[in-house]
Amino acid sequence: MADAVRIEGLAQLRRDLRRMQPETLREVRGVLKDAATVVARRAQATAPKRTGNLADSYRAGTAGNTAFVRSRLPYAGVHEYGGTIRPRGTPIVIKRSAPITTALRDNEDQIVKKVSDGMDRVARRNGWR
């Protein structure tokens, strides 16, 4: 299972976010994507760079009120979690390098601060305070 940042009260926040006006939810998504971009950039910097394609493939995104970092390359998961691939029948063992997990763990404080500051800005703009 992937590592994640746990936020106390997130379930209630997500319920409240689903009830928001679309423009407010767009602002929240922007805050979340900014935080996820921190992870994506760090993952790009620490990913194995045989060709550089893996590092270039990491992208931050949002879906609803959730942020994520992903790569669409078929071998990205093997580098994240480790494993064996068998191209042309020859097994190749790839050690776990975990660029996304490492980036998340190493930047937790910065991510929490970005989300906190961003949500404060959204709250002020929408009169929640």
Q: Which amino acid is at 82?
A: G
Q: What's the pTM?
A: 0.78
Boundaries of every domain in the chain = 10-124
User: In this predicted model, which residue has the larger pLDDT, 35 or 17?
Assistant: 35
Instruction: Please tell me the predicted confidence (pLDDT) of residue 1.
Output: 46
pLDDT tens digits, one per residue of 61-103: 998 778 999 999 999 999 999 999 888 889 999 999 999 999 9
- Residue 40, classed as helix, strand or coil, is helix
Q: How many CB atoms lie within 10 A of CB 58?
A: 25
How distant, in Å, are the alpha carbons of 4, 42, 88 from that of 57?
20, 12, 25
| Mean per-residue pLDDT over the chain, rounded | 88
